[in-house]
Amino acid sequence: MRSPEPGFDWVVLGAGTAIPHSERSPSGHLLRARHGPVLVDMGPGTLWRLAAQGVALRDLEGIVLTHRHLDHFLDLPALLFASRIPGHGRTRPLPIHVGPGMLEHIGRFAEALGHWFEPKGFDVLWTEHAPGEGAVAVEVGGTEVELRAVEHDATSIALRVSLPGGTVAYSGDSDDCSGLRALCDGADVAVLECSSAADAKLPGHLTPREVADIARGARVGRVVLVHMYPQLDGVDLQAEVARFGYDGPVVVATDGFGIRL
């Protein structure tokens, strides 16, 4: 994994999916905001990739989980289990923000894992959001984040954050929908999933055609593609997105790709 120099505002910790891949791990992203680092999604192995960026559990200002699928969520039990071991250094509460119905899902993990799912040394401040048809503005560790519901799973949300250098929109996993288009509107960078080819669409996910249509319609400054399934290996996704009508810069991310605004 590449380790970008300090100063990158958004780092793609995991650019892939649940399917093992040599260059793309399950979903995870690091937002380096003025008030401190925020973790966005945490699929398997995210905590180790976060550590490679020099960010420890004690440093996190908050976490946002976009939905309940394990390739975006499974390192949460790992984090709470790790907190049972002396030396992690965290004493202040850890805010975790989730979408509608997510706390019920998390409760099942807590019931199954018992005290191993209970943090030691600090409290978790859970907040569940149900954006509905509109946007919800929340503060995550001193950074204002806009959340919207998107079409993927009943628990799904996507987010937008405005930093001093510009605005980043992140789709999580999402189909083309009004919530995602609203989040992307005028964004300097859109970090968009692109799971399958245009002629083999997976329900609840985007294709290069839809990425191009969203980015063009929303006047996005540049696009960063994530969550590519291995079936897209060898496909020139930059050319595909351009072929479908988006003429801005497109990056196909691998683990460790950093965005500076």
In the chain, domain spans? 10-259
Spatial separation of the C-alpha atoms in residues 192 and 83, rounded to whole Å: 32
Spatial separation of the C-alpha atoms in residues 169 and 172, rounded to whole Å: 9
Q: Encode the chain (261 residues) as per-residue pLDDT tens digits.
A: 333 334 569 999 999 999 999 999 999 999 998 889 999 999 999 999 999 999 999 999 999 999 999 999 999 999 999 999 999 999 999 999 999 999 999 999 999 999 999 999 999 999 999 998 899 999 998 889 999 999 999 999 999 998 888 999 999 999 999 999 999 999 999 999 999 999 999 999 999 999 999 999 999 999 999 999 999 999 999 999 999 999 999 999 999 999 998
Residue 208: the pLDDT is 98
CATH of 10-259, one of 3.20.20.105, 3.60.15.10, 3.40.50.300, 3.40.50.1950: 3.60.15.10
Spatial separation of the C-alpha atoms in residues 105 and 59, rounded to whole Å: 26
What end-to-end distance do the CA atoms of the chain give, in Å? Answer: 21
217: Cβ–Cβ under 8 A, 6 or more apart, which residues? 181
Please state, in angstroms and as integers, the Cα–Cα distance from residue 225 to each residue in 34, 53, 98, 138, 172, following that order: 25, 21, 23, 25, 11
Q: Give the pair of three-digit tokens for residue 171.
A: 């789709």
Q: What angle do CA 54, 193, 232 make, to 5 degrees?
A: 105
Residue 4: the pLDDT is 37
Spatial separation of the C-alpha atoms in residues 65 and 172, rounded to whole Å: 9
Q: Which residue shows structure tokens 């859970």? A: 126
Spatial separation of the C-alpha atoms in residues 15 and 27, rounded to whole Å: 6
Taking the CA atoms of residue 147, residue 151, residue 154 and residue 159 in that order, the dihedral angle to the nearest 10 degrees is -20
Cα 128 to chain center, whole Å? 16
DSSP 74-101: THHHHHHHHTTSTT----S-EEEEE-TT
Beta-bridge partners for 257: 12
pLDDT 10s digits, 149-184: 999 999 999 999 988 889 999 999 999 999 999 999
